[in-house]
Homo-oligomer: A and B are copies of this chain.
Amino acid sequence: MEADKEKTRYFLTMPFPSLSRLHESISTPALLIDAARMDKNLRGMQAAADARHVALRPHIKTHKAPVLARRQRELGARGLTVAKLSEAELFAGEGFDDIFMANQLTQKAKAPMLNKVRQRARLILGIDHPRQVTLLEEMLSSPGPPLEVRIEIDSGFHRCGIEPESDLLVDVARLIRKSPALTLEGVFTHAGQAYGARSPREIKDIAAREAASVTAAAARLKKIGIEIATISVGSTPTAKEVIRHKGVTEVRPGNYIFYDRIQHALGSCRAEQLALYVLATVIAQPGPAQIVCDAGSKALNVETGAHGMHLVKGYGQPMNVKGTLTRLSEEHGIIGLERPEEIAIGSPLLIAPNHACVVANLYDFYHLADGESVQIVPISARGKSR
């Protein structure tokens, strides 16, 4: 019943009225962006951040495209967030001069890339262990201006980060203060457990804890004379909630540019906000209620939740055919139809992906579709996982 309702809702929000026309010229599988929806998503998050006087520093790990990051900057984003140094290198090379890598950098082989990026852009790194301080000191070319760092706080996700009440927080902060190579600019957290939330109420609670953890950490450090400039939080599910909390100065959502089935299931967006789709082609109909398309796990990924969780059913939502993506081989998607129906072999199949971030990372470019006009947008940082 619920599943039926969901399908109906998706059908009502079908984008790309000229899908057949697009399918005549775009070789599949391909990524399509609905330009108007994307722009509305970008404006919506920017407006929410502006209304709370919180800086929006979007995470580019979702789109990995300088063209789209420029649009975010035009609309008011202050700096970018990346997950990896090779992403920072790419975006610094594209003229982005304020980059926060919300992650730890610990491999000495990355020293040349680190020093290169710093020559082009302001780079801020994450830290949650004393050893990382030493490693960064060894990696940084001297003399140079101190590297800005932020301490990662664990707000309940238990991935990385220091608990705000632990002694380690003070130890690491003091170590950074003592280091001539580093300067402490902020604290940050990612409440990834929001991807396992079962209700809007739970999202609210997680957002509250997310904000409380970093503001508490900053308050503790202030007591020992260490002022924290930036208190940074963020995930797409919690973003609009967490910025309502006092003390938060920066928010770092990424997925909101496109949203996806997982975000929709979490209540982060409405179905008509989904802006990214995989365009596929029906290649076979082996039985009356089964069709096969040319988008498999190398085009859709098998994730059914973020952070390895399982949230949604099927490997994507077919938008123009009533059915479920029940199986994925590497290059085949198997769709069980709701009822026996003849589907034209060779016809387009539009699919809303489960997890936009990992799907985009499989492609070299987007087709940004604004009505019938289509712009090719390179996913320049695709595969930049180093």
Contact = CB atoms under 8 A, between A and B. Distances in A.
Interface of A: 23-30, 61, 83-84, 86, 103-110, 113, 128-129, 131-132, 135, 154, 158-161, 192, 281-286, 290, 292, 294-299, 301-303, 306-308, 315, 327-332, 334, 344-346, 357-358, 361-364, 382-383, 385-386
A27 B109 CA distance: 6
B385 A106 contact: no
A175 to B, nearest CB: 14
Contact of A106 (B61, B132, B346): B346
A23 B109 contact: yes
Contact of A330 (B106, B281, B298, B357): B357
Given A308-B315, A358-B297, A385-B29, A346 B108 contact: yes
Contacts of A294: 84, 103, 106-107, 385
Contact of A329 (B292, B295, B308, B363): B308
Contact of A192 (B113, B282, B329, B385): B329
27 contacts: A23-B109, A24-B108, A27-B107, A27-B109, A103-B294, A106-B284, A106-B345, A107-B294, A131-B345, A132-B345, A158-B286, A159-B292, A159-B334, A160-B286, A161-B286, A295-B385, A297-B303, A298-B383, A299-B385, A301-B302, A302-B302, A307-B328, A308-B315, A308-B327, A362-B383, A362-B385, A382-B383
Residue in A286, A292, A344 whose Cβ sees the most chain B Cβ within 10 Å: A286
Contacts of A363: 383
Shortest 4 CB-CB contacts between residues of A and residues of B: A107-B281, A83-B331, A106-B346, A104-B283
A308 B310 CA distance: 14
Contacts of A299: 385
A129 B285 contact: yes
Nearest to A111: B27
Contacts of A330: 61, 83, 306, 357-358
A112 B29 CA distance: 16
A385 B346 contact: no
Contacts of A292: 159-160
A358 B26 CA distance: 24
Most buried by B among A24, A132, A329, A382: A329
B358 A109 contact: no
A28 B106 CA distance: 10
